[in-house]
């Protein structure tokens, strides 16, 4: 893999140095911050130069940044985010595309594109990101790094620009599982406690069915590895088996998460955009038309469906249960292909990808993506999810199952 530095990676909006405030669990580690998260005395762009120019410097660090500095970590800069974080491709109209070092001709994924790139290039030990419809999990998977979306609202979002509050959360991307666990435990305010062993691993049928055949093949050896553990049952399961409802991952996305996301974006940034008419990139403009044309009368049904799905998944999940599925159902698309001139490719990428990511989103589950496979050298992530507020168990389970794979990508490989 080619070596990239801070400049050639194009992962950063701004480089600076903030020394740790104290010694702690993160001594010796450095991190970067997605540019929708405040750093004191610095501008927060939200992925938009117009937003950056119209808003003052932050008066305080975001609470999550303060936590890391107090635990001994050093901050080295702010990373590129997709425009208003409303994208999963990572190709910024204003700041350019951060490199995907394992597949340089491919997108890094978004909207935590710079954070994923900075970690994958080895420029930081870990990075802060945010995740609504997959904005940590997808770039982590496409760039071949570890990423965690925690249980909804377990990490403070004070000082994080609002996007879709009912489904958005702060999380971490990291070079390996031990560092991911260290950083997440600081942010989660974790205490040592007895954790259950892994008992059941449920392979979510619909998520595997949505994945490209090459991804299914690449992950098959990884799934076989899970079956080698004693006292762990590995079984396929459908979303209907889990919820008892006549739903699919597609309806989780289109009838629940996407509706709620669209409605809340209108509230959080729609007024400012309407009032100020900022310069916008073409991809954001195309996506934002959904917000402008949204029928808010559909929001109540989406809220009720989200709550029903959360309740049913929570009722099904027992201590020791883990859900397993491909993080992204497609390989990272080539750079410059997710545009209006390739509408079918755009719809396929977003439709299938968000269908898979919506499972943890609507059920408010913690999810970790692990870089375990590759297809023709292109990274493929496998996700593990656990019950709501079972974040520490999920971190522990991931280490038990995959702790011997420090950077993954060597265990399962397919050439087509």
Q: Is 111 a catalytic residue?
A: yes
Task: Find all residues with CB under 8 Å of 124, minimum gap 6, and list them.
Answer: 30, 31, 32, 76, 118
DSSP 202-266: EEEHHHHHHS-HHHHHHHHHHHHHHTTSTT-EEEEE-HHHHH-SS--HHHIIIIIIHHHHHHHHI
In whole angstroms, what is the distance from residue 125 CA to residue 118 CA?
9
In whole angstroms, what is the distance from residue 38 CA to residue 156 CA?
13
Q: Which two tokens stand for residue 259?
A: 């509706």
Do 113 and 131 meet the contact criterion of CB atoms below 8 Å apart? no
In whole angstroms, what is the distance from residue 277 CA to residue 241 CA?
47
Q: Is 2 a catalytic residue?
A: no
Q: Is 205 a catalytic residue?
A: no
**Catalytic residue chosen out of the listed positions 111, 117, 151, 358:** 111
Q: What is each CA distance from 311 to 233, 307, 322, 363, 378, in whole angstroms?
A: 24, 6, 17, 8, 37
Query: CA nearest 126: which of 48, 1, 25?
Result: 25
Do 100 and 143 meet the contact criterion of CB atoms below 8 Å apart? yes
**Catalytic residue chosen out of the listed positions 135, 141, 151, 166:** 135
Do 335 and 97 meet the contact criterion of CB atoms below 8 Å apart? yes
Residue 155 DSSP symbol? S
- The number of beta carbons lying within 10 Å of the beta carbon of residue 1 is 13
Query: CA nearest 171: which of 150, 143, 140?
Result: 150
In whole angstroms, what is the distance from residue 109 CA to residue 114 CA?
9
Which residues are marked as active site?
34, 111, 135
């Amino acid at each position: 893999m080619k070596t990239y530095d801070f400049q050639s990676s194009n992962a950063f909006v701004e480089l600076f140095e903030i020394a740790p405030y104290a010694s702690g669990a993160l001594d010796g580690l450095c991190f970067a911050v997605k540019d929708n998260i405040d750093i004191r005395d610095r501008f927060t762009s939200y992925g938009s130069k117009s937003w950056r120019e119209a808003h003052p410097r932050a008066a305080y660090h975001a609470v999550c940044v303060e936590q890391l500095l107090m635990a001994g970590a050093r901050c080295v800069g702010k990373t590129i985010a997709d425009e208003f974080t409303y994208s999963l491709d990572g190709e910024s109209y204003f700041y350019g595309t951060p490199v995907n070092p394992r597949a340089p001709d491919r997108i890094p994924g978004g909207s935590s594109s710079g954070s994923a790139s900075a970690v994958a290039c080895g420029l930081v030990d870990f990075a802060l990101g945010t995740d609504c419809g997959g904005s940590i999990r997808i770039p982590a998977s496409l760039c071949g790094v570890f990423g965690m979306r925690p249980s909804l609202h377990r990490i403070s979002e004070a000082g994080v620009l609002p996007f879709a509050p009912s489904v958005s959360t702060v999380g971490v991307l990291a070079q390996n599982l031990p560092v991911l666990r260290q950083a997440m435990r600081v942010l989660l305010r974790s205490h040592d406690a007895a954790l259950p062993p892994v008992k059941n691993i449920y392979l979510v049928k619909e998520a595997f069915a949505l994945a490209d055949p090459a991804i299914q093949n690449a992950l098959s050896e990884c799934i076989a590895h899970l079956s080698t553990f004693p006292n762990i049952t590995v079984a396929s399961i459908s979303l209907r088996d889990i919820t008892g409802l006549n739903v699919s991952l597609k309806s989780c996305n289109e009838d629940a998460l996407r509706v709620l996301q669209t409605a809340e974006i209108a509230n959080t940034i729609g007024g400012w955009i309407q009032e100020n008419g900022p310069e916008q990139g073409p991809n954001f403009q195309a996506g934002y038309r959904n917000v402008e044309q949204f029928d808010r009368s559909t929001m109540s049904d989406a809220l009720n469906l989200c709550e029903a799905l959360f309740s049913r998944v929570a009722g099904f999940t027992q201590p020791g249960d883990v859900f397993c599925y491909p993080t992204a159902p497609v390989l990272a698309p080539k750079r410059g292909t997710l545009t209006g001139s390739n509408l079918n490719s755009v719809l396929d990428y977003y439709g299938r990808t968000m269908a898979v990511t919506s499972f943890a989103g609507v059920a408010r589950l913690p999810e970790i993506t692990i870089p375990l496979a590759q297809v023709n050298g292109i990274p493929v992530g496998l996700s593990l999810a656990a019950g709501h507020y079972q974040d520490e168990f999920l971190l522990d389970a991931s280490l038990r199952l995959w702790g011997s794979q420090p950077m993954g990508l060597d265990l399962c490989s397919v050439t087509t």
